[in-house]
Structure 1
Amino acid sequence: MTEIRRAVLTLPGVPLGPDNPLPPLRPLDEMHEVDERAKEDMPLDMARQVGYRPLRSVLPERIRDGYGRDRRPVDLDTIVIENDRLRATVLPGLGGRVASLFHKPTGRELLYRNPVFQPADFALNGAWFSGGIEWNIGATGHTALSCAPLHAARVPAPDGGDMLRLWEWERLRDLPFQVDLWLPEGSDFLYVGVRVRNPHEKPAPTYWWSNIAVPEEHRVLAPADEAWYFAYERTLSRVPVPEHGGVDRTYPLNSEFPADYFYEVEDGRRRWIAALDDAGRGLVQTSTDLLRGRKLFVWGAGTGGRRWQEWLTEPGTGGYSEIQAGLARTQLEHVRLEPEGEFSWLEAYGPLSTDARAVHATDGWSRAVDEVERRLEDALPRADVDAAYEAWRVCADTEPGERLAVGSGWGALEVLRTGWKLTGTPFDESTLGEAQAPWRELLESGAFPEQRRVGPPGPTLVAPPWRDMLETAPARPQSEYHLGIAQWHAGDRAQAVRSWERGLELAPSLWPFLRCLAVADAADGHTERAADRYAEAFDDLCAERRDDGEPWRAACGALGRESIGALLAAGRVAVARGVWDRLHPATRERGCFRLIEAELLCAEGELDAARAIFDAGFEVPDLREGAETLGEVWSKTAPPGTPLPPRYDFRMRPGSTPQ
């Protein structure tokens, strides 16, 4: 019978550190966007979904950028699901990631298993890590829950054994979801039942991609003759499979730069994707038909792709590519989920052995696809997947039993507000914590409480019902602060500014309001005024901070980083230097601030000193996917024609980094 147990996984890694205490008011920095003209060549349903309510902000989430790169052994809580054939290791505290899927009869790891836990800035809200199977919900990009805890419990499985249920409240779209994992006795396949629900009275844009890391030496196959090709030049085009540009792109190392291939799987065709090694062995993923999309992501063999591989793992441990399955053709799309409706489907993950000569045949793609399809049908018939889905649906509403992990209290707060009964995924009042406490008081009393201790303000809720409550609450500093953020999120910038200005007149702590007003000034092109307000905000924070504890250090670092950037943009170099000098010494030693120091030195005309920072070496832990800042600053310090050192070369598109 299937066994489910708790365990601990010890890896070289880093703590996640504190969240950034500044609300993310700037537009979402997401690479997957295309020009409106690209829609002219898309199928109508695809074009409609590409334009359907794309995410513009990561509010109400906070940015997670408090991690570093000084790795030491870390203990990660896991839940192990095991039968006599497979062993799956799940990380409930890190988005429910399946870190490992081990096939016991052959002694083979079916996934790319990252040997380290190293966060990097790839999720919508920052911290993300590579490897395993991740569950991406919310909007285009890696989920904001990548490094967040989920609720987990033991639930009866369709075959009478046990299954593991994971569930949470996804806050970017305000949708609850669940992921049920089980291993039938004697099965070579891990079954995964997924349900996303919309309890609201309005339709909701929905996004889901299951993302599977596999060794990059494997060939990737899917039942498609065409794909939508997307690269970091932000262009989308339809290309043939397997060859594009005279190269077989189903071998990840044949590409130079990172790229996505979204396979065009015909309606009625079985949905699957596989990654197979030279011997024709590897992993296959299949699903019921609702999960229509299939994708290959490659890092490529170029300098930038190799550097990213080292950055996310360990040099010399082998690279990975990603095979994915989603609700739409591409990850640029969001699918309409009707009011009080749901999407549900079943996925299966397991080993596949094929004739290597067929799957690596140079004389025919169709021959390779047919071989995989035939072997998959032998190993797991399509009818069995459909039957397993129907059996699971009967269990999807079963109330969880033994609790194995606890997620956030945000779902409990929404249930408290609405009275919704979400069978199978209880959001217990006992999970409400310190972050939810002021919002519960607003809900129950109609007034938002003032902070009892001096410190950075807590997180903001921005959904319309909470915004309405803030608008009718007594006009106190904290309610005006949070109301302004909610109004800004709704696109009402003028009202947001008025709320922050009202709060500023009453607040004992000025810097949170000044910083919000500075962002608004910068967004409207008022560079000088933004610089003034940032400088004033940083002065106020330095006067207010009580100690050098983690919350204050995080606030000073985050505000200092933004302030220096705004001051340099306004040509206020001396004032920017004054901000730098007041940062905590440990903050100034962080890699991202070493880069800021190099920018500051360039602005001061001290190019040799700026170049010395590069020569001494530094690492920016939260270097954003696709960011080109390293190359831009380097080009200011280096003699013409001097190539960018490999350690700083993270190019993700041709010609992106100055040489």
Structure 2
Amino acid sequence: MGGTCGDTNLRGWYDGKNPIFAEKRVYQGSSGVVYPYPIIEKISDEKQDKIYQALFIENEYIKVMILPELGGRIHMAYDKVRERHFVYYNEVIKPALVGLTGPWISGGIEFNWPQHHRPTTFMPTEYLVEHNADGSVTVWCNEIERMFRMKAMQGFTLYPDKAFIEIKVQVYNRTALPQTFLWWANPAVVVNDDYYSVFPPDVNAVFDHGKREVSTFPIATGTYYKYDYSAGVDIAQYKNIPVPTSYMAIQSKYNFVGGYEAGDTNAGMLHVADHHISPGKKQWTWGNGDFGLAWDRNLTDENGPYIELMAGVYTDNQPDFAWLQPYEVKSWSQYFMPYAAVGHVKNATKELVLNMEVHQQRADIILYATAAFEGLNIVLRDKQRRIYLEEKIHCSP
């Protein structure tokens, strides 16, 4: 993969042997200590061509590119049915000093571990390719991080005839001491005036980091991030948020979060995971204003604005951390999928995505499937179990 990069000119805060220890630094509400990693304080403005090793996995519906040299991230995820990138594909590697140790790039799906904006997000991981008995292929990326000596693995799997990416995660405390960690999957998506975030229907309030501020959702009616929304503003829509803003849902009993582009595209990206393990549902934007557009230019040459639709495990807020006891292993699975022609999702599993809109005694039901289903039985009934619709259909991506 060719790209724009200045990494050969990165310079760190160190004397050739030891980094300066950032003991007093605060980073995103928590400790900014990175020892024994060096902190990069300068990035060259000069563009250089650089070749990165890229691993591709592909099936009938999806094509994925993984970069093990840059934190083991998904850099591209392409929907072959709709012929579109369903996560933000940044065509250049253009780091800015955003990460815990410095360089960070926008786009794709990054993993925040064991701290915000992974200390090793711009560093290489080991990898292994598995060809499984069911015909699926898994690419494992693995690291032993130096701060706490813990191990993390993420495995990206594509199954034959399935229109989703499974990400299997395993984190392991290799030490005899309890350790803290967080894990937020951080997918980016392309945005424009037609884009809105899709939170579950039981989300009517969202919180800032540390739950310092709260706003009604999707219609904000007060002040949030020092911006006046008292007129009643739909903050699910990217175009309506002019300043850098985070918001996180709380206590949703649904297993999905995502985003959708209306208009001509009529397609989106969805994350699905067990909400008992993965309750975190977050949106972040630089803001649809001059400041945000300047940051977009900082991070890409031509690929424009994006937002992040993050999913966290064992917490619904940041910078909350979870515990790993001595020698404890935690593991879980997450699913990312493209979807189309559904609109505002009301419920989802890794197999099916559902929307139902009711207008004047009429219910419109839209169903998207991530695999081919024959004889799928559709039943619509009310709480008194009166049946309004029952029929068998065929459905596929």
**TM over 0.5: same fold?**
yes
Find out whether 1:317 has 2:296 as its counterpart. no
Q: Structure 2: any 5+ residue segments left out of the alignment?
A: 221-228, 356-365, 372-397
Q: Which residue of 2 aligns with 1:100?
A: 76
Whole-angstrom CA distance in 1 between matches of 2:268 and 2:217: 20
Find out whether 1:62 has 2:46 as its counterpart. no
Specify whether residues 207 and 379 from structure 1 end up closer, same or farther in structure 2 by C-alpha distance, changes over 3 A only: same
Alpha-carbon offset, residue 72 of structure 1: 3.1
Q: Which residue of 1 aligns with 2:161?
A: 186
Whole-angstrom CA distance in 2 between matches of 1:145 and 1:329: 23
Specify whether residues 252 and 29 from structure 1 end up closer, same or farther in structure 2 by C-alpha distance, changes over 3 A only: farther
Find out whether 1:274 has 2:258 as its counterpart. yes
Find out whether 1:206 has 2:181 as its counterpart. yes
Aligned pair partner of 1:345 in 329, 332, 337:
332
Find out whether 1:13 has 2:5 as its counterpart. yes
Q: Which residue of 1 aligns with 2:208?
A: 229
- SS of the residue aligned with 1:344? strand
Q: Which residue of 2 aligns with 1:24?
A: 20
Find out whether 1:354 has 2:341 as its counterpart. yes
- SS of the residue aligned with 1:98? strand
Find out whether 1:138 has 2:118 as its counterpart. no
Q: Which residue of 1 aligns with 2:233?
A: 247
Find out whether 1:293 has 2:280 as its counterpart. yes
Contact 1:221 1:250 in 2 (8 A): yes
* Mapping for residues 325-340 of structure 1, pairs under 5 Å: 325-327=311-313, 328-340=315-327
Alpha-carbon offset, residue 378 of structure 1: 4.9
Contact 2:57 2:137 in 1 (8 A): no
Specify whether residues 229 and 56 from structure 1 end up closer, same or farther in structure 2 by C-alpha distance, changes over 3 A only: closer
Specify whether residues 355 and 156 from structure 1 end up closer, same or farther in structure 2 by C-alpha distance, changes over 3 A only: closer
* Mapping for residues 561-580 of structure 1, pairs under 5 Å: none
Whole-angstrom CA distance in 2 between matches of 1:127 and 1:152: 22
| Residue identity opposite 2:66 in structure 1 | V
- Give the greater-gyration-radius structure (CA): 1
Find out whether 1:195 has 2:170 as its counterpart. yes
Find out whether 1:125 has 2:111 as its counterpart. no
Residues 531-550 of structure 1: per-residue CA shift (max 9 Å, x gap): xxxxxxxxxxxxxxxxxxxx
* Mapping for residues 378-417 of structure 1, pairs under 5 Å: 378-379=368-369
TM-score normalised by structure 1 residue count: 0.48
Contact 2:181 2:324 in 1 (8 A): yes
Specify whether residues 225 and 26 from structure 1 end up closer, same or farther in structure 2 by C-alpha distance, changes over 3 A only: same
Find out whether 1:76 has 2:60 as its counterpart. no
Residues 90-135 of structure 1: per-residue CA shift (max 9 Å, x gap): 1110001111001112211111111211111111000111110011
Q: Structure 1: any 5+ residue segments left out of the alignment?
A: 1-8, 34-53, 360-367, 382-659
Whole-angstrom CA distance in 2 between matches of 1:200 and 1:25: 22
Whole-angstrom CA distance in 1 between matches of 2:46 and 2:97: 16
Alpha-carbon offset, residue 213 of structure 1: 0.7
- SS of the residue aligned with 1:350? strand
Contact 1:274 1:285 in 2 (8 A): yes
Residues 433-476 of structure 1: per-residue CA shift (max 9 Å, x gap): xxxxxxxxxxxxxxxxxxxxxxxxxxxxxxxxxxxxxxxxxxxx
- SS of the residue aligned with 1:306? helix
Alpha-carbon offset, residue 19 of structure 1: 4.7
- The alignment covers a number of residue pairs equal to 336
Q: Which residue of 2 aligns with 1:435?
A: none
Alpha-carbon offset, residue 355 of structure 1: 3.8
Whole-angstrom CA distance in 2 between matches of 1:115 and 1:265: 37
Alpha-carbon offset, residue 249 of structure 1: 1.1
- SS of the residue aligned with 2:144? strand
Q: Which residue of 2 aligns with 1:589?
A: none
Contact 1:170 1:176 in 2 (8 A): yes
- SS of the residue aligned with 1:102? strand
Q: Which residue of 2 aligns with 1:439?
A: none
**Percentage of matched positions with identical amino acids:** 23
Aligned pair partner of 1:149 in 99, 112, 124:
124
Whole-angstrom CA distance in 1 between matches of 2:54 and 2:184: 22
Contact 1:157 1:182 in 2 (8 A): no
Whole-angstrom CA distance in 2 between matches of 1:28 and 1:276: 41
Higher helix share: 1
- SS of the residue aligned with 1:84? coil
- SS of the residue aligned with 1:116? coil
Whole-angstrom CA distance in 2 between matches of 1:75 and 1:67: 18
Alpha-carbon offset, residue 74 of structure 1: 2.2
| Residue identity opposite 2:3 in structure 1 | L
* Mapping for residues 429-468 of structure 1, pairs under 5 Å: none
Alpha-carbon offset, residue 27 of structure 1: 3.4
Q: Which residue of 1 aligns with 2:196?
A: 219
Q: Which residue of 1 aligns with 2:92?
A: 116
| Residue identity opposite 1:27 in structure 2 | E
- SS of the residue aligned with 2:35? coil
Aligned pair partner of 1:374 in 331, 351, 354:
354
- SS of the residue aligned with 2:52? strand
Alpha-carbon offset, residue 294 of structure 1: 1.0
